[in-house]
Structure 1
Amino acid sequence: MTGTSDKHEIFTDLTEALAMAFSVICVAVIVKDGDSPSHLIGDPETAQLLMTLDSVQATLADGLSRTEVPPPGTALEAAAFIAVEPLNIPHQESVATVVAFAGKHLDDCERAVALLHSLVTETLNELMFLRQTPFLAAAFAEIECGVTIADPNLEDTPLVYANAAFERMTGYSKAELLGRNCRFLQGDLQDQPSLRTIRNALARGTDCTAVVTNFRSNGESFENRLKLRPIRAHDGKISHIIGIQLDVTREHSALESLALQKRRYESLIETQSSYIWLMDADGELKSVPEKWLELAGLPPSSDPPELRAIRSVLTPEAAQAFHEGWSKALSNLTPFEVIYQLPAQTLSPRWFLDRITPVRDDENRLLEWIASSQEITELIRAEKEIERAAYEDRLTGLLSPEGFAQRLDEHLRARDLHPASPVVVVDIRALREINNTRGYDVGDEVLREVARRLTSELGPSALVARTGGDEFTVLAPLENQRTRRQLRKCMAAVFGVPFEIRGFSFNVEASFGYARIRSSAGDARKLMTDAALALHLSQLNPALTWSQYTKALERETRKTVELTTKLRHALEAEQLELYYQPQVDLESGRIISAESLLRWNHPEMGFIPPDQFIPLAEQSQLIGPIGDWVLRRACRDLKAWKDAGLGTCPVSINVSLIQFQLGSIPDTVRRALTDFNVAPEELTLEITESVFEQHGRALKQDLEALSAMGIRLSLDDFGTGYSSLGHLKDYQFNEIKIDKSFVSQLDEGDYAQAIVKATIFIAAALGADVVAEGIEASEHITTLRQLGCTKGQGYYFSRPVPEPIWHQLLINKKVLP
């Protein structure tokens, strides 16, 4: 269990690191229902105000990240932005916690939010590590090698984790290290050859080891042997860079002084876990450490043993490495290194790093060779633990994405797979609901049970990995005993049997996407990406359980990605526009309100239909910022019309269900109304009846909050989607809009008229208005009035028009048509 002192130290480091990285008004760790922040940088009174913000309380409630414009007229108005990040520890009974960050400069916002998220993520990982593996964590804290993690996806690749050994090594506290690039440790020595080696390796995404001169906080220089390893996410991109750092200053000092000051280095050797060897200019042994001979199981001797005896105690691989190193060194007179284990044949060996260096006289002539044997066993074990963590999923014991890709690539290089063998990505549906309703412990048990069933059903020839929070990836080699149909039977056996966990019995459903070996030209990452692409198709269509990757799917996805990228740019480049379509009184033709409709005018592609880009916005969650833009632009136009003396013309805007899921709609609406001085009754939010597909308490509370503010709620496209009559009474809708598909059929028979009449009766029972959409002929108006409908909109009156034309309509007070 994580102790309070552990949390206190880690949270202190986190807040201080943020305060050092940026200009801040205040940084605070806030616990739900707490009286004051548990950790604070900045003014306490400002922090108390920070605790009361809606965004802070909302994040404490739902665990979602948020940013907010500071409230004017308060102690926080000096801040340019406020970011809130959840800091909840999974698998631990603790109250909700957030980090609230009030920054001074708006230019820092994007970088600060990204760094805040990354630092919080690593803080949670550290707390989980301390809690779940206390013995390993204690050992990890005592190792002498520094361990760092940098995030290459953030600007300037800052450190997001540093262990205690790295603090001791550099003299800097964790708070001084986090959020900064390691290069500051090199001071003015930015042109070291080893740094170029590191930069080249990172550019290629490969491991590297180099010795770099660094400076401690007191200005003292030291030699740092640095091993960097990029860690890749399941999509193949580098997500983190792990560094293993060892202070080798003493070793270097010993090697340089051995030639001239043997007495000094001999006393130094006694204080080190090192052994010193001497060889003549031809590489023949002159002096061998007795302790090394003892470790190797060789008898002590006054004379150096033969090289053959030395090689006999090494593994064949280590002996070969020494042979090749010596051959090159004797030819070029260059140093070389070899890592080996002693004793060679044991399950728990000790590891050594030997560095062999030539000793020269003042005229650069070779005198002898000197070697230092440095024990590096806490270093090797730490590397192996990090490697294990990189290649194995801690929760389930399955392969990690990196481990799966490596093993799959081995198969592909060996060409031992049937070309029709599939790589299948399995997504557990509704895992979030299981976590929310039954707890994360039950959710973790579900993941472990799925892992057990997959491994059992697919057999030893398959590869099984957990590649995401609720996602598994498997390689199911086709054999004589396993056909495509039988593979589906295996998956049915995994998910067709109820899960019995902690007294609960429930069914778990899954979606599947797969790609065949022959479809991706022998590349593991491409296969995994293609299978995930096919899975996405299944996720978009709940009725589709299995989807297969095809070239056509990839082409369509590429188009979708390109259009989504253009849409993201469109928001920044002011390519979006609001058009307005009037709603009129069917008796007089007088304009009574307007519906705002989003349009995208691309400079090269022209107008892109909403039915093409709105679904993309919802899938990519761009609907959040786009929806905010629509709301604020409509409120801005409302204010402009009133300021021009045109009176009040209420406006309705369409709100996606996804917007309710992304954040607090009531807070967003309240800010827009306040910023533009718009009365709540001037704004109507139109929501399609698909809202009832996600009927739940949170949605109901949001709609009730909006209604309590005085915002009008309109149910759009009524009668075309989800059967919503059972839920209508639970929501306070002020308006029901009859879908245009029924209006267009009014003259074709009784059915459409019956639907319209029934809708009018239902609306009357609820005390709601009725608006008919899609009116395109005068006959429609006559029939609608006869049925009792008094409001409508459609092309008969006006198509949607840009704001300047709508502005002129209001000036003319035109009666339509």
Structure 2
Amino acid sequence: MALFSDCHNWHHLKQTGLRCDGGQSAVSSRYDAPQPCGTVCLAGIEGGLAGRFVEVMESAGKVKHMTAPSMQIIHVDWNALRLISLERFMAETPDTNALFTDLAEALAMAFSMVCVAVIVKDGNSPGYLTGDSDAAQLLLTLDGVQATLADGNPRTEVPPPGTALANAAFIAIEPLSLPHQQEQTTVIAFAGKNLIDSERVVALMHSLATETANELMVLRQAPFLAAAFAEIECGVTIADPTLADTPLIYANAAFERMTGYPRAEILGRNCRFLQGDLQDQPGRRILRNALTRGTDCTVIVTNFRRNGESFENRLKLRTIRTPDGTISHIIGIQLDVTKERSALESLARQKRRYESLIEAQTGFIWLMNAEGELMEVPEKWLEMAGLSLSRVPADLAAIRGALSPEAAEAFCDGWVEALRNVTPFEVIYHLPAQSRSPRWFLDRVTPVLDEEHKLLEWIAASQEITELKRAEKEIERAAYEDRLTGLLSPEGFAQRLDERLKRMDLHPASPVVVVDIKALREINNTQGYDVGDEVLREVARRLTAEVGESGLIARTGGDEFTVLAPLENQRTPRQLSKCMAAVFDVPFEIRGFSFHVEASFGYARIRSSAGDARKLMTDAALAMHRSQHNPALTWTQYTKALDHQTRETVNLTTKLRHALQADQLELYYQPQVDLASGRIVSAEALLRWNHPQAGFIPPGKFIPLAEQSQLIGPIGDWVLRRACRDLRAWRDAGLLVTPVSINLSLIQFQLGSVPDKVRQALTDYNIAPEELTLEITESVFEHQGQALKQDLEALTAMGVRLSLDDFGTGYSSLAHLNDYFFDEIKIDKSFVSQLDKGPYAQSIVKAVVVIAAAIGADVVAEGIEWSSHITTVLHLGCTKGQGYHFSRPVPEPRWRQLLFDQKALP
């Protein structure tokens, strides 16, 4: 209800849409004369409307505002009110241009148009147009347009030939009725490209124009209602079912905000475009059925915003009928309920989880009041505890009596603390208390608090942990026992050895021996892992038989065993080592295969460990690694010198890893020359390490470390890419580039992906494959297999040259020259240096030349240091060579200069 103290001002305000149902003024009961001031009490109306009134009045500076719980009271200067324009108090003047713009753009989007134009009477140009501007300007001059502006009747015309409208199939003119106008002042004219669209376009335009006129009427005559209608959160749409495909002819601002589509892209389209590809939603079928029957319905459908984001739309359809019962319009009330649906689904999911958890758990739920008194007791727990079910709930004393004394005391102590501080507590116990194979439970008692953190009750969950107690024992067993062999694990060995050391019942010279089985990987790869596992089990059996019950044996690695072999009166250290080695003297007979297995040994004596089992194991492993990397050694004893040497190795390995990151590595280049002319034909890239403090470190010192630590992988990648980068730089500098060769390690092939890395480097630096040569030593054939063959074949197919380095010094590789294609064979310098000392070296060189000719490979003689070497190898048929006689390896800038000079080397 709205009560006003001044009848004149009431009449004035009544035009705003406020109404008075009677009542007495708060300050005066006289309604017959206006007062200079008064109080307005706004009650029973929407806050937004009262707020709008107050906002306008306050802006005049003549209002004192006060709010009450059920009404709004303002003190008004009525003289000031008379001066305020009613239009200012009402909603803003409707933006007809925006409405007409939406109409024009909606038509242009819905149909194929030459142009669409809004034309105002007596205007020199269209008020708004889309499409061809010349054609739109021509519409102004048409007689039909002027006639419609005069009489308000719609028309359809044939486009005049030979004009800008010649491409149109039809022209339609539709009047746009505006409220309170005495004559037609605005029309919308459109030229369509397809005659078949003519009726549909005219019908849609008529419907849109009618709805626009209705909207303008509402905006003009009920501005507060229009403002509220524009600000509501619900999307409102109106569709015309009398038109083809039931297009939308109205959409409010909330619908634009909800979907992200402007009105121009909404009008004239069926709203199902919002469903994207989800055209078979259950809600869609409900909508179709309701519209077929002509009934209202409410559904939830998934829609998509203009940016592609999906949202859940609760859509209520309401049909509007004409007096004869025909459906004239369909109103849609639409609300984004994405968050609401998500919250409900989350709540339902949590409820299902809780129910599933209760059903699936193997424990029980208890409830106690705030004082800790039992309210609900699980009957199955009572039955398992051997308590009577006749009295439920059972009393607390009977329940405590079913527990062991320790568990009952733990519960009592937990409750005292929990009731004092309102905190949870846990107790582990077993049932039945006297059973030899009980079931174990973990009870967690937790307080239930209200929103103000006041205690309401207690809830306890009894979770059976018997899958857990057994697992603890199994984990303990697994931690101290090797599952494959049944021997001790590293942890078990260390624990048992520490116990023996503390008892001090071992001879101080008793050794801890680490045994490493050689070539187990090859056994696994060639014979299968089942055979490899059986080898490990057989080694375990043999070691156990040799060491006896007084010793300890563990499998401490994939192919590694650690043994405590106590010295006894009847066995000296030498005898013990012979017995350990004898384990591998007898061939292994496994699944029809018979083969010898070799091993490396390292040991540390008890007295060197200072009573520490872990240090003994580490020292023995260190000694074993020394044997492992020195083929001349089988047994190695740990010494302080070995420890010092190992620390140096570790330190140098760490520095090498840092060198790769700190760019301390360099490539030097040594030329390969044509022996007859001295012309440079290629170069070998050689890795150098220039340490900032230690200076140049010899390759023979750090490359073996790189291979042992597998740093050779990233270092080899660096060499490959640096060589390709230098090749690219020389070519960009205009130098006559020669091919470059780099060395590949066996470990690089074992690490895998060599062809992929070579291909990537060639691609990244745009290097032709034939400009790169990969040098491989004979050692790769010691571990040759299908993977190596595939890698070499892939490199050959790529066009990269392959060179067999140090030929004749390593693995016997003549048989493999038929299987692997090499473009080049390099004669090792050990043969070249002996050329002047007898016929043997010359025979070797001549044989290599013959072999190379047979397989179509070039021959390069390494280590040429004297001119006599050149004469001899040329005589033997070798045409290329490299060595200090021509040049030592030089840094990249010096090599660049050699390429620039292009001089023959002596």
- The TM-score with structure 2 as length reference comes to 0.53
The one of 480, 497, 517 equivalent to 2:569 is 480
Kindly report which structure 2 residues correspond to 1:592-741, keeping only aligned pairs within 5 A, or say none: 592-741=681-830
The one of 540, 557, 574 equivalent to 2:629 is 540
User: How has the CA–CA distance of structure 1 residues 692 and 357 changed in structure 2, closer, same or farther, with 3 Å as cutoff?
Assistant: closer
Match of 2:689, SS state, is: strand
Give the deviation of 1:650 after TM superposition: 0.7
Greater radius of gyration (CA): 2
Match of 2:512, SS state, is: strand
User: How has the CA–CA distance of structure 1 residues 771 and 437 changed in structure 2, closer, same or farther, with 3 Å as cutoff?
Assistant: closer
Match of 2:836, SS state, is: coil
Give the deviation of 1:654 after TM superposition: 1.0
**Which sits farther off after the overlay, 689-698 or 640-649?**
689-698
Cα separation, 1, equivalents of 2:433 and 2:585: 50
**Is contact 2:366–2:460 with CA below 8 Å preserved after alignment?**
no
What is the identity, as a one-letter code, of the residue corresponding to 1:684?
Answer: T
Kindly report which structure 2 residues correspond to 1:80-119, keeping only aligned pairs within 5 A, or say none: none
What is the identity, as a one-letter code, of the residue corresponding to 1:621?
Answer: Q
User: How has the CA–CA distance of structure 1 residues 540 and 344 changed in structure 2, closer, same or farther, with 3 Å as cutoff?
Assistant: farther
Give the deviation of 1:583 after TM superposition: 1.1
Give the deviation of 1:539 after TM superposition: 2.0
Give the deviation of 1:400 after TM superposition: 1.9
**Is contact 2:402–2:432 with CA below 8 Å preserved after alignment?**
no
The one of 492, 502, 508 equivalent to 1:403 is 492
Cα separation, 2, equivalents of 1:426 and 1:219: 61
User: How has the CA–CA distance of structure 1 residues 662 and 355 changed in structure 2, closer, same or farther, with 3 Å as cutoff?
Assistant: closer
Q: Could you say which residue in structure 1 is the equivalent of 2:375?
A: 266
Give the deviation of 1:795 after TM superposition: 1.9
What is the identity, as a one-letter code, of the residue corresponding to 1:715?
Answer: L
Q: How many matched pairs?
A: 547
**Is contact 2:385–2:402 with CA below 8 Å preserved after alignment?**
no
Kindly report which structure 2 residues correspond to 1:160-239, keeping only aligned pairs within 5 A, or say none: none
Q: Could you say which residue in structure 1 is the equivalent of 2:888?
A: 799
Q: Does residue 498 of structure 2 align to residue 431 of structure 1?
A: no
User: How has the CA–CA distance of structure 1 residues 525 and 439 changed in structure 2, closer, same or farther, with 3 Å as cutoff?
Assistant: same
The one of 542, 545, 548 equivalent to 1:459 is 548
Cα separation, 1, equivalents of 2:793 and 2:494: 49
User: How has the CA–CA distance of structure 1 residues 603 and 678 changed in structure 2, closer, same or farther, with 3 Å as cutoff?
Assistant: same
Cα separation, 1, equivalents of 2:568 and 2:370: 65
**Is contact 2:365–2:378 with CA below 8 Å preserved after alignment?**
no
Cα separation, 2, equivalents of 1:424 and 1:689: 34
Q: Does residue 868 of structure 2 align to residue 757 of structure 1?
A: no
Partner deviation per Cα, 1:724-762 (whole Å, 9 max, x = no partner): 334334332222222223333333444433433333333
Match of 2:835, SS state, is: coil
Partner deviation per Cα, 1:480-536 (whole Å, 9 max, x = no partner): 344434433443453333333333333333222222222222222222222222221
**Is contact 1:325–1:336 with CA below 8 Å preserved after alignment?**
no
Cα separation, 2, equivalents of 1:565 and 1:220: 54
User: How has the CA–CA distance of structure 1 residues 813 and 356 changed in structure 2, closer, same or farther, with 3 Å as cutoff?
Assistant: closer
**Is contact 1:321–1:338 with CA below 8 Å preserved after alignment?**
no
User: How has the CA–CA distance of structure 1 residues 254 and 506 changed in structure 2, closer, same or farther, with 3 Å as cutoff?
Assistant: same
**Is contact 1:771–1:792 with CA below 8 Å preserved after alignment?**
yes
Kindly report which structure 2 residues correspond to 1:359-398, keeping only aligned pairs within 5 A, or say none: 376-398=465-487
Cα separation, 2, equivalents of 1:786 and 1:502: 56
Partner deviation per Cα, 1:645-678 (whole Å, 9 max, x = no partner): 2133111111112212221322222222222222
Kindly report which structure 2 residues correspond to 1:284-303, keeping only aligned pairs within 5 A, or say none: none
Match of 1:747, SS state, is: helix
Cα separation, 1, equivalents of 2:575 and 2:758: 53
Cα separation, 2, equivalents of 1:344 and 1:507: 58
**Which sits farther off after the overlay, 640-649 or 589-598?**
640-649
Q: Cα RMSD (Å) of the superposition?
A: 4.5
Kindly report which structure 2 residues correspond to 1:119-198, keeping only aligned pairs within 5 A, or say none: none
Match of 2:583, SS state, is: helix
Give the deviation of 1:687 after TM superposition: 1.6
Give the deviation of 1:594 after TM superposition: 0.7
Kindly report which structure 2 residues correspond to 1:556-571, keeping only aligned pairs within 5 A, or say none: 556-571=645-660
Q: Could you say which residue in structure 2 is the equivalent of 1:364?
A: none
Give the deviation of 1:578 after TM superposition: 0.9
Partner deviation per Cα, 1:739-793 (whole Å, 9 max, x = no partner): 2233333334444334333333333333322222222233333333333332222
Cα separation, 2, equivalents of 1:496 and 1:460: 22
User: How has the CA–CA distance of structure 1 residues 420 and 351 changed in structure 2, closer, same or farther, with 3 Å as cutoff?
Assistant: farther
Give the deviation of 1:336 after TM superposition: 9.0
**Which sits farther off after the overlay, 420-429 or 629-638?**
420-429
Match of 2:556, SS state, is: strand
User: How has the CA–CA distance of structure 1 residues 302 and 565 changed in structure 2, closer, same or farther, with 3 Å as cutoff?
Assistant: closer
User: How has the CA–CA distance of structure 1 residues 344 and 691 changed in structure 2, closer, same or farther, with 3 Å as cutoff?
Assistant: same
Cα separation, 2, equivalents of 1:806 and 1:627: 21
What is the identity, as a one-letter code, of the residue corresponding to 1:507?
Answer: H
Q: Could you say which residue in structure 1 is the equivalent of 2:831?
A: 742
Q: Note the residue ranges of structure 1 that are not aligned, 5 or more in a row.
A: 1-216, 222-245, 275-288, 296-300, 359-369
The one of 802, 812, 817 equivalent to 2:901 is 812
Cα separation, 2, equivalents of 1:501 and 1:484: 31
Cα separation, 2, equivalents of 1:703 and 1:477: 51
Cα separation, 2, equivalents of 1:252 and 1:487: 61
Cα separation, 2, equivalents of 1:252 and 1:291: 12
User: How has the CA–CA distance of structure 1 residues 345 and 261 changed in structure 2, closer, same or farther, with 3 Å as cutoff?
Assistant: closer
Partner deviation per Cα, 1:340-369 (whole Å, 9 max, x = no partner): 6667776523445689999xxxxxxxxxxx
**Which sits farther off after the overlay, 696-705 or 680-689?**
696-705
What is the identity, as a one-letter code, of the residue corresponding to 1:677?
Answer: N
**Which sits farther off after the overlay, 453-462 or 463-472?**
453-462
Give the deviation of 1:582 after TM superposition: 0.9
Q: Does residue 609 of structure 2 align to residue 500 of structure 1?
A: no
Q: Note the residue ranges of structure 2 that are not aligned, 5 or more in a row.
A: 1-345, 351-357, 389-393, 448-458
User: How has the CA–CA distance of structure 1 residues 600 and 744 changed in structure 2, closer, same or farther, with 3 Å as cutoff?
Assistant: same
**Which sits farther off after the overlay, 405-414 or 794-803?**
405-414
Cα separation, 2, equivalents of 1:324 and 1:491: 60
Partner deviation per Cα, 1:139-178 (whole Å, 9 max, x = no partner): xxxxxxxxxxxxxxxxxxxxxxxxxxxxxxxxxxxxxxxx
User: How has the CA–CA distance of structure 1 residues 495 and 338 changed in structure 2, closer, same or farther, with 3 Å as cutoff?
Assistant: farther
Cα separation, 1, equivalents of 2:534 and 2:545: 16
**Is contact 1:567–1:613 with CA below 8 Å preserved after alignment?**
yes
Partner deviation per Cα, 1:382-423 (whole Å, 9 max, x = no partner): 322222222222222222222222222222233232222222
Cα separation, 2, equivalents of 1:730 and 1:303: 86
User: How has the CA–CA distance of structure 1 residues 373 and 431 changed in structure 2, closer, same or farther, with 3 Å as cutoff?
Assistant: same
**Is contact 2:665–2:689 with CA below 8 Å preserved after alignment?**
yes
User: How has the CA–CA distance of structure 1 residues 417 and 592 changed in structure 2, closer, same or farther, with 3 Å as cutoff?
Assistant: same
Taking only the aligned residue pairs, the percentage that are identical comes to: 75
What is the identity, as a one-letter code, of the residue corresponding to 1:260?
Answer: E
User: How has the CA–CA distance of structure 1 residues 752 and 494 changed in structure 2, closer, same or farther, with 3 Å as cutoff?
Assistant: closer
Give the deviation of 1:324 after TM superposition: 15
Cα separation, 2, equivalents of 1:734 and 1:372: 76
What is the identity, as a one-letter code, of the residue corresponding to 1:620?
Answer: S
What is the identity, as a one-letter code, of the residue corresponding to 2:623?
Answer: A
Give the deviation of 1:627 after TM superposition: 1.1
**Is contact 2:681–2:739 with CA below 8 Å preserved after alignment?**
yes
Cα separation, 1, equivalents of 2:892 and 2:559: 46
**Is contact 2:682–2:738 with CA below 8 Å preserved after alignment?**
yes
Give the deviation of 1:711 after TM superposition: 2.1
